[in-house]
């Protein structure tokens, strides 16, 4: 028979453990949202000594290190989160992303198989997790067959997404056609997605990304449609700046938008990169004949992302006598 005194003592301790995790979690998440990933990681690490078996703390630590591109630590903490709460689809998804970051660095087939396994597990745990299905589509389309790449499976995931959400289905199909280098089919899917007038920002910005990649001035149309849905979205400054450069109009406004983006919006893996913003500023300065300023922006882009070949080529062009 269990002692009633023991039960009272155990129950009285439980809220203390929860509170011990709650405060640093809130503080760490706040720091994360403002782009202070190192500070957020320090806050969360300090708390793990008291509540090391809190899956949320481990998950947010993984997110912090993922943003810092420290994939070894991201994997460690994401594995901890999955171990503590194996039913959580999101934890499996982010473990897959952490494995993916590490796999790209090391070009490891072994890790690539782990990426696939975690994405598939995320979908299995929660079939309605559309972002996990999108990650799985990207994997099936980009990975070689030897580690599980499979275009037929990618299409099956796109169709499963369409059954859950018609807008997301069009976006998923567009991704499929892009990977197969069929731009017309992809553009048709994006237009069909926007024809449904989604009330969230991502479909508009994903369409804008498609036009940006093709240096198509119709990007601005998608951006302004999105602005009607959420005029306060932080990413609008970037997209409005790029749209004006592609249209070769209102270039002083484009410069202001991009500089504002760089100054006020934190670097995040799900936002346009600061390296990209610098590269577009360089293109703007080239249009204005300011070659020295353009070269400076291309160098800034390469400092943030040394593998950015488009910025490297642009820098060579800007530096030519």
pTM comes to 0.88
Alpha carbon 291 to its chain's center: 32
Query: Distances in Å between the alpha carbon of 155 and those of 133, 140, 158, 160, 178?
Result: 11, 9, 5, 9, 12
Supply the range of the domain harboring residue 298. 273-321
Q: Give a yes or no: residue 35 inside a domain.
A: no
Dihedral of CA atoms 63, 65, 70, 73 in degrees, nearest 10, equals -90
Q: Give a yes or no: residue 162 inside a domain.
A: no
Per the structure, how many domains does the chain have?
1
Instruction: Quote the pLDDT of residue 190.
Output: 98
Query: Hunting for tokens 């989160």 — which residue is that?
Result: 81
d(CA 67, CA 86): 23
233-262 burial: b if 16+ Cβ within 10 Å, else e: bebbbbbbbbbbbbeeeebeebbebbebbb
Q: Give a yes or no: residue 202 inside a domain.
A: no
Q: Give a yes or no: residue 304 inside a domain.
A: yes
Question: What are φ and ψ of residue 233, in 5° steps?
Answer: -60, 130
Instruction: Quote the pLDDT of residue 8.
Output: 32
Q: Are the C-beta atoms of 268 and 36 separated by less than 8 Å? A: no
Using the 8-state DSSP alphabet, how is residue 63 labeled? H
Instruction: Quote the pLDDT of residue 19.
Output: 52
Instruction: Quote the pLDDT of residue 20.
Output: 57
Instruction: Quote the pLDDT of residue 12.
Output: 37
Q: Give a yes or no: residue 212 inside a domain.
A: no
d(CA 184, CA 17): 55
Q: Are the C-beta atoms of 137 and 172 separated by less than 8 Å? A: yes
| Token digits of residue 123 | 């979908």
Q: What is the DSSP string of 113-179?
A: HHHHHHHHHHHHH-TT-HHHHHHHHHHHHHS-GGGT--HHHHHHHHHHHHHH-HHHHHHHHHHHHHH
Q: Are the C-beta atoms of 163 and 169 separated by less than 8 Å? A: yes
Element of type H or E holding 303: helix 291-304
Q: Are the C-beta atoms of 30 and 56 separated by less than 8 Å? A: no
Alpha carbon 156 to its chain's center: 23
| Token digits of residue 200 | 């969230």
Q: Are the C-beta atoms of 201 and 230 separated by less than 8 Å? A: yes
Q: Give a yes or no: residue 309 inside a domain.
A: yes
pLDDT tens digit at each of 321 positions of the chain: 334 333 233 333 334 444 556 888 999 999 999 999 999 999 999 988 766 789 999 999 999 999 999 999 999 999 999 999 999 999 999 999 999 999 998 888 999 999 999 999 999 999 999 999 999 999 999 999 999 999 999 999 999 999 999 999 999 999 999 999 999 999 999 999 999 999 999 999 999 999 999 999 999 999 999 999 999 999 999 999 999 999 999 999 999 999 999 999 999 999 999 999 999 999 999 999 999 999 999 999 999 999 999 999 999 999 988
Nearest residue to 95 via CA among 66, 124, 118: 118
Q: Give a yes or no: residue 306 inside a domain.
A: yes
Q: Give a yes or no: residue 267 inside a domain.
A: no
Count the helices and strands in the chain (H runs, E runs): 17, 0
Q: Are the C-beta atoms of 187 and 210 separated by less than 8 Å? A: yes
Q: Are the C-beta atoms of 119 and 134 separated by less than 8 Å? A: no
Instruction: Quote the pLDDT of residue 51.
Output: 67
């Amino acid at each position: 028979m269990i002692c009633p005194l023991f039960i009272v003592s155990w129950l009285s301790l439980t809220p203390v453990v929860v509170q011990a995790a709650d405060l640093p979690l809130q503080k760490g998440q706040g720091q994360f949202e403002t782009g202070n990933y190192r500070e957020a990681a320090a806050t969360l690490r300090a708390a793990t000594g008291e509540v090391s078996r809190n899956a949320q703390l481990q998950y947010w630590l993984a997110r912090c290190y993922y943003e810092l591109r420290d994939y070894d630590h991201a994997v460690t903490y994401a594995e901890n989160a999955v171990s503590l709460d194996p039913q959580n689809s999101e934890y499996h998804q982010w473990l897959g992303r952490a494995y993916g970051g590490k796999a790209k660095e090391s070009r490891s087939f072994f890790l690539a198989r782990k990426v696939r396994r975690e994405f598939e597990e995320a979908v299995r745990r929660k079939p309605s997790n559309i972002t996990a299905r999108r990650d799985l589509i990207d994997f099936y389309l980009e990975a070689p067959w030897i580690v599980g790449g499979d275009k037929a499976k990618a299409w099956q995931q796109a169709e499963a997404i369409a059954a859950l959400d018609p807008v997301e289905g069009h976006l998923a199909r567009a991704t499929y056609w892009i990977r197969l280098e069929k731009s017309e089919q992809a553009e048709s899917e994006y237009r069909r997605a926007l024809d449904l007038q989604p009330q969230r920002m991502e479909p508009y910005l994903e369409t804008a990304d498609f036009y940006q990649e093709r240096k198509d001035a119709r990007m601005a149309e998608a951006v302004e449609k999105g602005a009607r849905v959420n005029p306060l979205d932080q990413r609008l400054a970037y997209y409005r700046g790029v749209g004006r450069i592609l249209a070769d109009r209102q270039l002083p406004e484009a410069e202001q938008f991009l500089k504002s983006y760089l100054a006020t919006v934190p670097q995040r893996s799900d936002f346009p990169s600061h390296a990209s913003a610098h590269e577009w500023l360089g293109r703007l300065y080239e249009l204005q004949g300011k070659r020295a300023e353009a070269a400076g922006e291309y160098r800034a882009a390469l400092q943030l992302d040394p593998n950015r070949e488009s910025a490297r080529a642009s820098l060579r062009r800007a530096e030519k006598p």
